[in-house]
Amino acid sequence: EVQLLESGGGLVQPGGSLRLSCAASGFTFSRYAMSWVRQAPGKGLEWVSLIGGSGTGTDYADSVKGRFTMSRDNSKNTLYLQMDSLRAGDTAVYYCAKDRCSATSCFFDSWGQGILVTVSS
Amino acid sequence: EVVLTQSPATLSLSPGERATLSCRASQSVSTYLAWYQQRPGQAPRLLIYDASNRATGVPARFSGSGSGTDFTLTINSLEPEDFAVYFCQQRSVWPPSFGGGTKVEIK
Residue B95 with chain A: CB contacts under 8 Å: 47, 59, 61-62
- Give me the mean pLDDT over the A2-26 stretch: 97
The DSSP 8-state label assigned to residue B20 in this structure reads E
Residue A104 with chain B: CB contacts under 8 Å: 30-32, 50
pLDDT in tens, A48-88: 999 999 888 999 999 999 999 999 999 999 999 999 999 99
The DSSP 8-state label assigned to residue A38 in this structure reads E
> Closest partner residue to B95 among A61, A102, A113, by Cβ?
A61
- Which is nearest to B42 in space by CA: B9, B94, B76, B81? B81
* Residue A105 pLDDT grade (very low, low, confident, very high; cuts 50, 70, 90): confident
CA distance B99 to chain A (A): 7
